Amino acid sequence: MIWSILTFLLVLSILVIVHELGHFMVAKWNGIWVEEFGFGLPPRVFGKKIGETIYSINALPFGGFVRLHGEMNDDGLLKKNRAFLNKSLWVKTAVITAGVIMNFLLAVVAFGIIYSHFGIPKEKGYVQIVNIVPDSAAANTEVVVGQKIYSIDGKEVTKRDEVTAISNKGGKHILLVGATDAGEKDKKKITIDTRFNEKDGKWYMGLVLTSTEMYFPPVWKTPFYGAYYGIQESLVWVKNVWGGLTGIAKDAGQGVISKDLSGPVGIFAIIDQIVRTGDIWALINLIGIISVNLAILNIIPFPALDGGRLLFIIIEAIFGKKVAPKFEAVIHSIGMAILLLAILAITIKDIRGLISAGSISGFLDNMIK
């Protein structure tokens, strides 16, 4: 449990520091005075001033912040030419979006490391059966693991998605199968029925298929391949996270906390299971997934989030006039209060789920269902 707690804090630290480092660096590059770089949310537990910036550790370990001179209001400015409010719209936009960009880049790096280690998926040019689901429709037929699928319902196939696109329509299907190097005489037709899965509303034959193999490029090419596929994987997760948020927003509109929504307790539970298995690659992959989540969440135009601050900059650009700093500060303060209450509500929900499940593994099983 101690290792799980330490790993949880390490992961949280990496995610927060990378995000805030984006704000910090872009602000510094543009001459803005960074008054404080904080890990966690106030009240402050520890702080040390190095140069002109205070580096602090705060009591609530749910995020972090970079406090910029003249960020929220123009009262008592000591260095007007270095105040955030007095910078151009482009500079302010760059500073605000830098954290989101850094989280996305962290995800790209994490996924890139995974692909560099496990290999790059490459199309084999044929579809192969790698497993047969027990008690499925396919389990009662003559199909064998390792066989190649040449065609389904008379249509030649070379990719896994081509097979699933047809089989997901339901009904019975005729597969032409054989060894990967089988001649015409060694191929045979097998009829396989499908079964409906009520959980996702799809039809399945019960075959686990693949049409890819892992490719390991030359060492000097590996970083480029890793970066490319890291970007692709990050974009896939952007789509997944956005789809999940849509469902969560729908539930919230009905006054319900979505069962798919989890917070620090849920993240700790996942990290605890990873630590128990000792799978460093799973941990790196999790960092990538969470980093994408943070990037998407932060760009939402809600007060106190980066997206909320960006919204006020957009309003200023459209109307050519700044929103009153004091009014904006009040709106962000209200937004922060709402966010903290939301985190509290989600944490209470997760703790109740953990107590009800009786164990961390049981809690995770309930999350997946």
Query: Distance (Å, rounded) from C-alpha 87 to C-alpha 80?
Result: 10
223 C-beta neighbours (distance < 10 Å), count = 13
| Model confidence, pTM | 0.83
H or E stretch covering 93: helix 89-118
What pLDDT score was predicted for residue 47?
Answer: 93
Q: Are 172 and 205 in contact (CB under 8 A)?
A: no
Q: Per-residue confidence of the chain (369 residues) as pLDDT tens digits?
A: 789 988 998 998 899 899 999 999 999 999 999 999 998 878 899 999 999 999 999 987 767 889 999 887 777 778 888 999 889 999 999 999 999 999 999 999 999 999 999 999 888 999 999 999 999 999 989 899 999 999 999 999 999 999 999 999 999 999 999 998 878 888 999 999 999 988 788 899 999 999 999 999 898 998 899 999 999 999 999 998 888 888 777 776 776 666 667 888 889 899 999 999 999 999 999 999 999 999 999 999 999 899 999 999 999 999 888 888 888 888 998 998 998 888 888 888 888 888 887 777 777 777 666
Instruction: Determine the topology of domain 121-215 in CATH.
Output: Pdz3 Domain (2.30.42)
Query: Distance (Å, rounded) from C-alpha 335 to C-alpha 347?
Result: 18
- Placement of tokens 């460093």 in the chain: 280
Q: What long-range pairs does 170-173 form, CB within 8 A, spacing at least 24?
A: 170/194, 170/196, 170/203, 171/203, 173/205
> Radius of gyration of the chain from Cα atoms?
26
Would you kindly state where each structural domain of the chain is located, as residue ranges? Answer: 2-117+230-368, 121-215
